[in-house]
Amino acid sequence: LVSVLSSALIVYRLPWTWKCSKLLMKFIHAGLNTIAMILAIVSMVAVFEYHNARNIPNMYSLHSWIGLTAVIFYALQLFLGFAVFLLPFAPVPLRAALMPIHVYSGLTIFATVIATALMGITEKLIFSLKTPPYSASPPEATFVNCLGLLLVIFGALVLWMASRPHWKRPAEENAKILRPIGGTPEGTEAESTMTDGSNGDKSDLRNDSEAARKQNLKLDEACQRSTM
């Protein structure tokens, strides 16, 4: 979940993917989440079988409670994501209303997964290290503690990338996906007007559109500097 789910979270935030089709990126996002869900289910089955084979009680620690909760909510997140955002049946207003919830719940689940992993490796050390004990800071304890710190740093970087406005997929690239065959992108009224005017009008509108784009780029750069 830590590695594959993080890839699914930032797949829209990678600049070299902004030229790809939005539909293709949706399939990649859904595919990565599906792989993570399958691996999570396999892992949980393995844990229960291991506990039962060694007569270890199940579901008694905070690690197991939070881990199972994360998997359950992740399954719901995956189901709603398929039903609302991938399949073409949900109306656009519903998608727009659920998108902030979908993003927030995905980030929350990822943070919960990081916390579950940290509790799990600590629990494993406490149970496994007997001579010398965990409190004596043997090399195994130092190694796993460093691994925990790296998990925290990794999780913070992923959450930072997924929450920064200037890492979002540009709206202009999204508009290209809405362009019908032989038509113009939605929301580009000036460009659609150019197809009906004279050559002089086309040139003026192109200049206005180019000036607007440059102004937007300047505003984006100023926004990026203010958020750094």
Identify whether the C-beta of residue 22 lies closer than 8 Å to the C-beta of residue 177.
Answer: yes
pLDDT for position 131? 87
pLDDT for position 171? 73
Please name each of the domains of the chain with its CATH number.
Answer: 1-172 (1.20.120.1770)
Give the global pTM: 0.72
Q: Distance of CA 177 to CAs 17, 183, 206, Å? A: 14, 11, 21
pLDDT for position 164? 86
In the chain, which stretches have pLDDT less than 50? 173-205, 216, 219-228
pLDDT for position 213? 54
DSSP for 97-111 reads HHHHHHHHHHHHHHH
pLDDT for position 32? 96
- Structure tokens that stand for 30 in this block: 């859904």
- Structure tokens that stand for 127 in this block: 């149970």
pLDDT for position 214? 54
pLDDT for position 215? 52
Angle between helices 92-128 and 62-80 (to 10 degrees): 160
